[in-house]
């Protein structure tokens, strides 16, 4: 009985930490650095603004999928020079009618990974532009040929996206974290929250769902 109470208390505490972490991510994350280490030209970084429908996964070979929530409006800091941004377009539409137990309450419309390449000017600000459907039917029709463009602050089109081919991706331009003597990555350090975020970034979608079910049950 005591063990059950301790386990329940631990789960409640962890759930509370997750809620606070998620709330913090939603309210405080505004600018995501897309490099590792401390490159000399980081102070001159450009900014790429991404709405909630655009989910950036990689920039110049670096993974930037370190967030526990989808649909975040984020700014990405890009090192000056040639930039390669990999992303998907994703929209969620509520289902009408009765939803069976265990069935998702929403329809998810998501594109295949897209890539867009452009020359980032120091200090410049860019944003995504794309067609915005008014219904799920429109979204599903549009997704077959989806493409987004990057525009400058003045509204000038800079580049357009195409289907992503991993074999044609550029190598990372930023410094890479050091490895241990056996070639393995350096062990995760930092606070419990930092470790949770690091582990979460490497988990599969099924593992994330299973963990959330355990934390909030």
User: Is the confidence at residue 111, as pLDDT, over 70?
Assistant: yes
Task: Report the pLDDT value the prediction gives residue 11, as an integer from 0 to 100.
Answer: 54
Task: Report the pLDDT value the prediction gives residue 28, as an integer from 0 to 100.
Answer: 42
> Binning pLDDT at 50, 70 and 90, where does residue 58 land?
very high
DSSP output for 14-81? HHHHHHHHHHHHHHH--EEE-SSS--GGGGG-EEEEE-TTEEEEEETTEE----S-SS--EEEEE-SE
User: Is the confidence at residue 185, as pLDDT, over 70?
Assistant: no
Q: Which of the two residues, 17 and 118, has the higher pLDDT score?
A: 118
- Maximum C-alpha span of the chain: 66
User: Is the confidence at residue 74, as pLDDT, over 80?
Assistant: yes
132-167, pLDDT tens digit by residue? 999 999 999 999 899 999 999 999 999 999 999 988
**Mean pLDDT computed over every residue of the chain:** 77
Q: Could you give phi then psi for residue 41, rounded to 5 degrees?
A: -95, 15
> Binning pLDDT at 50, 70 and 90, where does residue 129 land?
very high
User: Is the confidence at residue 42, as pLDDT, over 80?
Assistant: yes
Task: Report the pLDDT value the prediction gives residue 176, as an integer from 0 to 100.
Answer: 45
User: Is the confidence at residue 85, as pLDDT, over 50?
Assistant: yes
Full-prediction pTM beyond 0.85? no
User: Is the confidence at residue 27, as pLDDT, over 80?
Assistant: no
The residues near 149 (Cβ < 8 Å, ≥ 6 apart) are 116, 128, 129, 130, 157, 158, 159, 160, 161
Among 133, 80, 155, 140, CA closest to 108: 140
């Amino acid at each position: 009985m005591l063990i059950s109470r301790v386990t329940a208390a631990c789960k409640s505490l962890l759930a509370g930490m997750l809620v606070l972490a998620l709330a913090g991510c939603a309210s405080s994350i505004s600018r995501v650095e897309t490099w590792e280490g401390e490159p000399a030209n980081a102070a001159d970084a450009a900014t790429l603004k991404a709405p909630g429908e655009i989910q950036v996964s990689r920039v110049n070979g670096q993974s930037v999928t370190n967030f526990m929530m989808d649909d975040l409006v984020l700014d990405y800091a890009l090192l000056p020079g040639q930039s390669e941004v990999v992303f998907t377009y994703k929209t969620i539409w509520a289902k009408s009618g009765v939803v069976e137990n265990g069935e998702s309450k929403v329809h998810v419309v998501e594109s295949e990974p897209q890539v867009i390449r452009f020359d980032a000017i120091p200090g410049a600000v860019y944003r995504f532009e794309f067609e915005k459907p008014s219904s799920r039917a429109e979204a599903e029709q549009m997704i077959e040929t989806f493409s987004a463009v990057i525009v400058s602050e003045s509204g000038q089109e800079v580049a357009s996206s195409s289907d992503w081919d991993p074999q044609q991706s550029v190598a990372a331009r930023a410094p890479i974290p050091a490895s241990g003597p056996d070639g393995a990555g350096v062990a995760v350090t930092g606070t419990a929250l930092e470790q949770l975020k690091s582990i979460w970034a490497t988990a599969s979608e099924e593992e994330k769902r299973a963990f959330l079910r355990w934390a909030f049950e």
